[in-house]
Amino acid sequence: MSATERSGGSTALAAGLGLLALLAAAGSLVIGRDGGGPTFGFGGPELAETIVREIRLPRTLLALLVGGTLGLCGAALQGLLRNPLAEPGLLGASSGAAFGAVVMFYFGFAGASSLLLPLGAVAGSLLALAVLYALAGRRGDFLTIVLAGIAINALAAALTSLALNFAPSPYAALEILFWMLGSLADRSLAHVYLALPLMVPGWLLVVAAARGLDALTLGEDTARSLGFDPKRTQALVIGGTALAVGAAVAVTGVVGFIGLVVPHLLRGAVGQHPSRLLLPSFLGGALLATLADIAIRLLPPGPELKLGVVTALLGAPFFLHLVMRSSARDGSAP
């Protein structure tokens, strides 16, 4: 086994996942509710084209972007915290974004402009990360970050509940709840244009930390002796995650567990290498989110299941399985 073969293996893995994600995206463009085609046989080709362009395309693009973001950021956070249980929700970026959006709902701004809601979410995510930095940034050790993330999550959840409690009408409360469940339905290309300019810099920041994550494999002292300042690695990963995940939550609500499950499933295939896990996790996340969104449409008729509900239903037992396995192994990393 040589290193070239190994990295060649992860390149092949990335190529395979990328191809599968493209196939899934193509499927997502043509598969409708209950597996029907774009127009269920009604209307002409113009109608079909309109439906694909206006409805399916944004939905598919967002599934790829949001899934990819969650996979990439999950892999980077697991590398940073050197813990396979880490995921974007851990830092409070997701719940902060959700709270930001709820504030917009609460004050009724969401009706005024479809852009105010996402902007509120990005602001909430950045605010959560700013608080995280104020609490833990200067000390910079990883345990403090995790504890600060838990505190921020709890606070954001409490404030969100408060907003629900004082919601002007039951209808408003219901709207907030549904939005928080996380969904790709009824999105437009405007959402894509809104999220992408924030996601791309976020991805780049995370990817810039790749070799620093490799160096952290042997602890902070060795990482520094190899020329990678752990604080810089941390700033890149956390800042990048705030931008990208904030933008993702802004347009889809909270979609959990993709950032946890995908890196975990792929880690063995890249020889446990933190940096080689990043690209496959991005593609794997994009694939998983797209498949989950197709699965939602193939379920029996009735109110459409929310994407966040599906990922949580699949992801929570998986998370439990990981926790039980790692505690059975004396709490050490698997």
Residue 112 burial (10 A CB sphere; 0-12, 13-18, 19+): exposed
Q: Which is nearer to other proteins, 2 or 169 (CB)?
A: 2
The yes or no reply on residue 271 touching other proteins (CB under 8 A) is yes
Residues 160-199 that bind other proteins (CB under 8 A): none
Task: In angstroms, give the least distance from the CB of 273 to other proteins.
Answer: 6
Number of residues that bind other proteins (CB under 8 A): 30
C-alpha distance from residue 321 to each of 101, 316, 317 (Å): 32, 9, 6
3-state secondary structure of 113: coil
Our finding on whether 1 is near other proteins (CB under 8 A) is: yes
Interaction between residue 2 and other proteins (CB under 8 A): yes
Q: What secondary structure letter does DSSP report for 182? A: -
Q: What is the DSSP string of 251-312?
A: HH----SHHHHHHHHHHGGGTT-TGGGHHHHHHHHHHHHHHHHHHHHHSPSSSPPPHHHHHH
Burial 73-87 (b: 16+ CB within 10 A, else e): bbbbbbbbbeebbbb
What's 168's DSSP letter?
A: S
Contact of 315 with 292, CB cutoff 8 Å: no
Mapped onto helix, strand or coil, the DSSP state of residue 115 is coil
Q: Which is nearer to other proteins, 7 or 188 (CB)?
A: 7
State which of positions 71-110 bind other proteins (CB under 8 A). 82
Q: How many whole angstroms separate alpha carbon 243 and alpha carbon 236?
A: 11
Q: Choose which of 134, 204, 316, 333 interacts with other proteins (CB under 8 A).
A: 333
Measured from the CB of residue 73, what is the shortest distance to other proteins in angstroms? 18
Closer Cβ to other proteins, 184 or 213, answer by number: 213
The only residue of 127, 152, 216, 287 in contact with other proteins, by rule CB under 8 A: 216
Given a contact cutoff of 8 angstroms between Cβ atoms, the answer to whether 334 and 325 are in contact is yes
Q: How far is the CB of 212 from other proteins (least distance, A)?
A: 9
Does 328 interact with other proteins (rule: CB under 8 A)?
A: no
Is 227 a binding residue for other proteins by CB under 8 A? The answer is yes
- Regarding 221 and contact with other proteins (CB under 8 A), the answer is yes
Q: Select 212 or 285, whichever has its Cβ closest to other proteins.
A: 212
Q: Which of residues 251-270 bind other proteins (CB under 8 A)?
A: 267
Least Cβ distance, residue 332 to other proteins (angstroms): 9
Residue selected from 64, 73, 210, 250 as contacting other proteins according to rule CB under 8 A:
210
Binding segment for other proteins (CB under 8 A), chosen from 20-28, 94-102, 214-222, 246-254, is 214-222
Q: Which of residues 82 and 297 has its CB atom nearest to other proteins in the complex?
A: 82
7 sits near other proteins (criterion: CB under 8 A): yes
- In the complex, minimum distance from the CB of residue 82 to other proteins, in angstroms, rounded to a whole number: 4
**Where do runs of H (alpha helix) occur along the chain?**
3-30, 45-51, 57-81, 93-106, 109-112, 116-132, 142-165, 170-181, 189-208, 210-216, 219-225, 230-252, 258-267, 278-298, 307-328
219 binds other proteins (CB under 8 A): yes
For binding to other proteins (CB under 8 A), which residues are involved? 1-4, 6-7, 82, 210-211, 214-219, 221-222, 224-229, 267, 271-275, 333
